[in-house]
Chain A
């Protein structure tokens, strides 16, 4: 039981390690790793193919050698086999696909070499292209991370017509819209604040001036009270219109959604 527990804990530890490894690997590194694995596997395959070919050739020549040593075998048979082996290529007609071992060896060698070459080029090309794209994405991420509500004027400014450039241009356009809406909101709040401030200032200053006048008459008091009354009406009017504005906005949203 204890042993089992230990094993379980060991497994857990391993799992954690793998998890850590996974989180530690960035996307960039993962791609590098994948491409290098592809290259290594293709190199191993190619090497094993070459080794196999050499082995076959070696076995073939050994077989011929053994054949010659065999007593009682017809000399003619050996000769015909050897002649076949030394036959010039021109005489091998296409329909008769009987290839001499050395020709077969050469063709396989060239073909597999070509395939390996293509695989290498494709992998390398893909790798470089991906790295470049990733760099652009990294640049975009870094710049976008910097943008907050105070730095809405920042733009990515990537020119071009590829997908990434188009994406960043769309992003810039979105930022334009956001900035405009932020600005208009700011202006609205400024105006609202001004509208609210004016009546407050009128009330406050009237009270201040009245307070400093120790010999104020009843008429003066009445004047100030009237002014304050009017200004309070104005304030409540402003608050009503602000409320109406938000209510209308909510209604419009509901309409759009339905």
Chain B
């Protein structure tokens, strides 16, 4: 899942990136409001973590602009403003959640996952297709109730595919969701990871269907 962090304090932004990447998210960082807004126009993010006090345009403005673009990305405001009127304002500007600094990292993580859960019909922390079960909160994958070892990128690709099961996802989309924006979009790195994924899943690995010339999708009927 792809997250954009808009935060002017470099140390906070960096530790957020580090912590979230450790928990198998791909993270882009913008150090000012303008950059952040432009990134939301260029890429398809799942969650935007937005600071309110930014040096160029403030967070509320960024939030308003994102919503003006009819972009329904989940916005989590992360700010030092603790007064209830600030929270009300933030949510009214179109944010989905509000967290005040300093915060517990596990709380932030849980809230991001809660936001992502809203996108799916199932309100559970488990994605299940045939004998493959992906535990979102524990960040592990079981096949036939046995845990399999996946690399970070393999896990991220599998999560993205399973969340959008039945949908055709292009290589670029997968690249964008599992890597940050510094990735070389012409590499065939996705193919290698998919191959490895299929091998690790075993018998049911071929539910990841290759659509030639377009990309991949999860097809339960195969």
Contacts and interface: CB of A to CB of B under 8 A. Distances in A.
A209 B109 CA distance: 11
B185 interface: no
A205 B106 contact: no
Interface string B90-110: 000000000001111110000
Interface string B9-22: 10110011011001
B11 A212 contact: no
Interface in A167-225: 190, 193-194, 197-198, 200-206, 208-209, 212-213
Nearest to A211: B105
B120 to A, nearest CB: 24
A205 to B, nearest CB: 5
Contacts of B106: 208, 212
A190 to B, nearest CB: 8
A120 to B, nearest CB: 60
Contacts of B82: 193
A224 to B, nearest CB: 9
A203 B101 CA distance: 11
Contact of B53 (A194, A202, A203, A209): A194
B80 A205 contact: no
A198 B15 contact: no
Interface in A74-101: none
B103 A205 contact: yes
A209 B80 contact: no
B103 A202 contact: no
Interface residues of B, number: 19
Contact of B15 (A194, A202, A213): A202
Given A194-B53, A198-B12, A202-B11, A209 B101 contact: no
A209 B102 contact: no
B12 A208 contact: no
A193 B11 CA distance: 18
B105 A212 contact: yes
A50 interface: no
B18 A197 contact: no
A194 B19 contact: no
Interface string B38-59: 0000000000000001000000
Contacts of A231: 11
Contacts of A201: 9, 12, 80, 101-103
Nearest to B20: A209
Contacts of A200: 101-102
Contact of B105 (A190, A198, A208, A227): A208
Contact of A227 (B9, B11, B23, B81): B11
Nearest to B107: A208
At the interface, is chain A mostly helix, strand, loop or mixed?
helix
Contacts, number: 56
B16 A205 contact: yes
A227 B15 CA distance: 10
Contacts of B102: 197, 200-201, 203-205
Nearest to B10: A202
B16 to A, nearest CB: 7
B212 to A, nearest CB: 40
Given A198-B12, A213-B22, A204 B80 contact: no
Given A194-B53, A200-B101, A200-B102, A205 B22 contact: no
Contacts of A227: 11, 15
Contact of B19 (A193, A203, A208): A208
B40 to A, nearest CB: 23
Given A208-B104, A208-B106, A198 B19 contact: no
A198 B101 contact: yes
B19 A209 contact: yes
Nearest to B11: A202
B14 to A, nearest CB: 9
Nearest to B80: A197
A209 B23 CA distance: 10
Interface of B: 9, 11-12, 15-16, 18-19, 22-23, 53, 80-82, 101-106
23 contacts: A193-B82, A194-B80, A194-B81, A197-B102, A198-B80, A201-B101, A201-B103, A202-B9, A202-B12, A203-B102, A204-B104, A204-B105, A205-B15, A205-B16, A205-B105, A206-B15, A209-B15, A209-B18, A212-B19, A212-B23, A212-B105, A212-B106, A227-B15
